[in-house]
Structure 1
Amino acid sequence: MTRKRPPGEGSIYQRRDGLWVGAVTIGYTPRGNPRRKVVYGRTRQEVARKLAELQVQRYRGLLSEPTQISVRDWAEDWLRRKGAEVRPRTLESYRYHLAHALPSLKDPKAHDPLGRMRLQSVQPLHVRRLLDGLRLSPHAMRTVRWLLHAVFEDAVRMELVHRNPVAPVRVKGPARKSPGRTLQPEEARRLLEALDEHPSPLALALRLMLTCGLRRGEALGLRWEDVDLEAGVLHVRRAWAKVSGKGVISEPKTSSGYRSVPIPPTTLERLRAYRESVRGLSEEEVLTSWLFPGRDPSQPVHPDAPDHLLRRLLARLGLPQVRVHDLRHTYGSLLLAHGAPVELERKGWTTPTPTSPRASTATSWKRSAGGGW
């Protein structure tokens, strides 16, 4: 026996054994066939109430259509999309950390319980147990958890799952990371003197990082066409980053990384002398060549080369070891120590033009901060 249902209530009928059955459409298959959710009850009112609850969940987006997409496949798609948004080195870091939680991203044959689960099947407890089984530093654990959350959050936005199973899971925060050490003015002066005496062109690259606030990849990614020796300005247009142990050309780290930087007078003199030393090339060939070429002149020197030179020089001078990136921070500290406002640090966080009053003021700060640098 069947009874006609009110409009919008869903399909309700009574079986021959007396049990009431209700069904509601929650979506459609790729072929256009309806997907239906079925509920049961001892009375028609009970089934109608269950169907009403399903309708509310459906309208709230809480009844996502089941799919066969695995966590691993969705993570792979997410990484592929991220490849168009982030730098190669950043993408490599994403894949490396995600592989701690989803080993099949690195080796398709690896044991990967979470990666082989369907997206809709993952519960917070699965994530909790997975993270508890990892033996990583607190910082790495937070990174893995953050990436997993981003992968599932993307699935939520695409309405493949109705909630993010990583959201309730927390991991212990990392110990506070100690900031890099900046050089004191006297230490910076001694290092600059040592750089001037060193015959390697990489010494000039380190000088650019210290006196112009360039990142390592930005300095190594310079071509001669990026350096205006007449105006005393260099233009940051690309970076030379290390990915999988090799150098790769990429865009600057941020959109504000595209910038024009005034060159302090002493550093400009060193650049002009270095330019005069370039022999055997036509003017056009010089403009398209790298300031700091490697053994293969079609590419810049290896990204790690400045680090090795800086360590040797600091050890020889008896100065505490600092990272190459700390030269950039030293640059900002020296400017601020002489009263330069933050926006004049010209480190790629703000982008005043080289002809603006702020840009010329930045040059004057450099002159006062280090005797012309």
Structure 2
Amino acid sequence: MAEIKKVTARGKTRYRFVVDIGPDPVTGKRRQLTVTKDTKKEAEAEQARIRHQRDTGVFVAPSKATVAELVALWLAAATRDVEAATKRSYEDAMRYVVTHLGEKRVQQLSEEDVESLVDWMLTSARRIGGKPGTGLSVRTVSLTLGRLRAALNLGIRRGLVARNVAEHVTIPRQARKADKLRRKARTPWTEAEVKEFLGHVAGDRLYAVMLLSLIGLRPAEVCGLRWEDVDLTAGTLSVEITRTLVAGEVIEKDTKSEAGDRALPLPEIVRTALRTFRKRQAAEQLAAGEGYDASGRVAVDELGRAVKTDWLRRRAYERMQSAEVRKVRLYDARHACLSWMANNGVPDTVVSAWAGHADLGFTKRVYVHPDPQSLKAGSERLADLLG
């Protein structure tokens, strides 16, 4: 045990000891703590307390570590074995924390500080993807809050902080309510809108590609689809590869989950459109000669080059505008497909499998929307019951 020494300064006698408190959780360097008390008894009690807490892993030594340093520590641990897209999402979420709270010492961080972060994100934190200086979505704020909680939990395990000050911070009810109303207003196409759009693009070069989005494939799945994944004789396609953008970089990878890797029977209209598109690509390759890329993808430009999800979205929006139909996200076109299936008697398990979801409840909660036709059918059933 370290010796407790008597020290005298300015005519006053006090008692001092030095104790080893382990490596710094940020730098890894050895640390020692010097403690001075007025009486030997107080010094002995404090020395015993520190040693006990150190040995049981609950001691928190004074530290100048900042929130930014804790974030860096957490990111290094959390992104060791994740995909590039996941790593980027973690970094994006924590960038707001570093911007708003990064210079603050982590041991001085309070619940009020975390609430201030939430309020700032909801009102004025946006820098890209919309009007700068406006608020971010509740989903984005929720993801950041969750990552901050995880970082503070790491801080507890590493002995940087005694408690998680973000644990009980929540997103204000009014913000959640407003977000729910915004999402509710973002409705997928009705059956009539789908037919109007398809009628407009029936002779378009990308007709088959638009159909793939409308049978429930994700944009990244459409861009990743290869001709080798399509069996036009059997009338099936296999969803195995996705192609998406992460921070401006094209990432090709397996589907999001085991359930996402799936084989789908093609509606005859889609099979016919794909046959036509394949013949068109063959003619384009012949015309382009050596300038043709021959990427083997289904969704390609006129020179055979594989396309990105932002390319696909822009082409879809251009066609929505020329068709004079309501502009929706390609993901909403996917919602329209799954809702139509669910509302027209397709079993829930089939709808979920078609969507590539492992969680049936998630499919029903997020992707299935009651449309006017299905509600009218419900009314007619009630009329039968009520006589």
TM-score of the aligned structures, taking structure 2 as reference length: 0.69
**Alpha-carbon distance change, 198 to 162 in structure 1, aligned in 2, over 3 angstroms:** farther
Contact 1:205-1:220 within 8 A present in 2 as well = no
| Structure 1 residues 257-272: aligned runs within 5 Å | 257-272=260-275
Give me the whole-angstrom Cα distance separating, in 1, the residues matched to 2:28 and 2:334.
58
Matches within 5 A, 1:362-373: none
From 203, 207, 210, the equivalent of 1:198 is 203
Q: Which moved more, 1:24-33 or 1:230-239?
A: 24-33
- Alpha carbons of 1:291 and 1:145: their partners in 2 closer, same or farther (altered >3 Å)? same
Contact 2:241 2:252 in 1 (8 A): yes
Percent identity among equivalent residues?
24
Is the deviation greater in 114-123 or in 180-189? 114-123
Q: In the alignment, residue 231 of structure 1 is paired with which amino acid? A: A
RMSD: 3.8
Could you tell me which amino acid in structure 1 is paired with residue 355 of structure 2? K
Q: Give the equivalent residue in structure 2 for 1:321.
A: 327
Which residue does the alignment assign to 1:362?
none
Q: Structure 2 stretches of 5 or more lacking a match?
A: 126-134, 360-387
Gap runs ≥5 in structure 1:
1-7, 104-111, 352-373
2:338 is the alignment partner of 1:332: yes
The reply to whether residue 223 of structure 1 matches residue 244 of structure 2 is no
The match for 1:293 is 300
After TM superposition, give the deviation of residue 123 of structure 1 in Å: 4.5
TM-score, normalization by structure 1: 0.71
Letter aligned with residue 188 of structure 1 = V
Q: Figure out how many residues of one structure are paired with residues of the other and give that number.
A: 328
Query: Quick one: which amino acid aligns to residue 334 of structure 1?
Result: W
Aligned residue identity for 1:187 = E
Tell me if 1:273 matches 2:276.
Answer: yes
Aligned-pair CA distance for 1:62? 2.4
CA contact under 8 A between 2:293 and 2:304: conserved in structure 1? Answer: no
Change (3 A) 1:128 1:320: closer
Contact kept? 1:27, 1:35, Cα under 8 Å: yes
Query: Which residue identity does 2:220 align to in structure 1?
Result: G
1:349 has 2:357 as partner:
yes
Kept in 2, the 8 Å contact 1:39–1:50? The answer is: no
Q: Larger helix proportion, structure 1 or 2?
A: 2
Match of 1:208 in 2: 212
Shift of 1:313: 3.8
CA distance in 2, matches of 1:65, 1:296: 63
Residue 149 of structure 1 corresponds to which residue in structure 2? 149
Cα contact 2:243–2:251 (8 A) shared by 1: yes
Q: CA deviation at 1:18?
A: 5.0
> What is the deviation of 1:312?
4.1
Check 1:223–1:144 CA distance in 2 against 1; reply closer, same or farther (3 A cut): same
Structure 1 residue 330, shift from structure 2 partner: 1.3
Aligned position for 1:115: 102
Q: 1:95 aligned to 2:98?
A: no
In 2 relative to 1, CA 184–34 (structure 1 residues): closer, same or farther, beyond 3 Å?
closer
- Partner of 1:277, secondary structure, is helix
Partners of 2:16 and 2:34 within 8 A in 1: no
Do the aligned residues in 1 keep the contact of 2:237 with 2:264 (CA within 8 Å)? yes
Which residue number corresponds to residue 369 of structure 1? none
Displacement of 1:214: 0.5
- Whether contact under 8 Å (1:64, 1:160) holds in the other structure is yes
How many Å separate the matches in 1 of 2:199 and 2:231?
A: 24
Alignment-derived partner of residue 32 in structure 2: 35
The Cα shift of 1:222 comes to: 0.9
Q: Distance in 2 between matches of 1:66 and 1:259?
A: 54
Return the alpha-carbon distance in structure 1 between the equivalents of residues 108 and 78 of structure 2: 24
Task: Find the residue that maps to 1:308 and give its secondary structure.
Answer: helix
2:246 matched residue in structure 1: 243
Which has the larger displacement, 183-192 or 115-124?
115-124
Q: Structure 1 residues 32, 258: closer, same or farther in 2, change over 3 A?
A: same
Aligned-partner Cα distance in 1 for 2:20–2:194: 71
Cα distance, 1:317–1:239 mapped onto 2, change above 3 Å:
same
List per-residue Cα deviations over 1:68-92 (Å, max 9, x = no partner).
Answer: 7643344345445555655545544
Contact kept in structure 2, 1:222 and 1:236, CA below 8 Å: yes
Aligned-residue offset at 1:218? 0.5
From the superposition, tell whether residues 124 and 39 of structure 1 become closer, same or farther in structure 2 (CA, over 3 Å). farther
2:213 is equivalent to residue 232 of structure 1: no
User: How much does 1:208 deviate?
Assistant: 1.0
Q: Is the 8 A contact 1:224 1:287 kept in 2?
A: no
